[in-house]
Amino acid sequence: MSRTATKLFFGDADYVFDLKAAQIAELEQKTGVGIGLLCHRIFARQFALNELSEVIRLALIGGNTPPARAAQLVATYVADRPIAETYPIAEAILEARYFGNPHEEDQA
């Protein structure tokens, strides 16, 4: 696992979440803001619901979950669940990308 990845329980199992460069580019395009502003907004709890959904979906893809499965997981475990359940997941994903995960070594 890379230093920007994190493994979390989500919905039905543990999954690896990792926002890689390609996923960040798509996240910025989907949300209309840069990653710095998006992190600031989410850390300050001033986010839109679709931002949480996109962070989780794209980080699942970056963690090697197939895109269709990632979309299915988000539809099942984010769309109609309490925000208090999904916010900590999105926050942990962005914290790992922003600050790194000190317990993991880069596998490059």
Boundaries of domain holding 70: 5-98
Does a structural domain hold residue 103?
no
What length does the chain have? Answer: 108
Does a structural domain hold residue 106?
no
pTM metric for this prediction? 0.91
The pLDDT of residue 1 is above 80: no
Q: CA–CA distance from 67 to each of 19, 78, 99 (Å)?
A: 13, 16, 25
| CB atoms near residue 69 (< 10 Å) | 12
Does a structural domain hold residue 105?
no
Domain count, the chain: 1
3-state secondary structure of 3: coil
Q: What is the pLDDT of residues 10-47, one digit of tens each?
A: 999 999 999 999 999 999 999 999 999 999 999 999 99
Q: What is the pLDDT of residues 46-74, one digit of tens each?
A: 999 999 999 999 999 999 999 999 999 99
Does a structural domain hold residue 48?
yes
* pLDDT range class, residue 2, cuts 50, 70, 90: confident
Does a structural domain hold residue 10?
yes
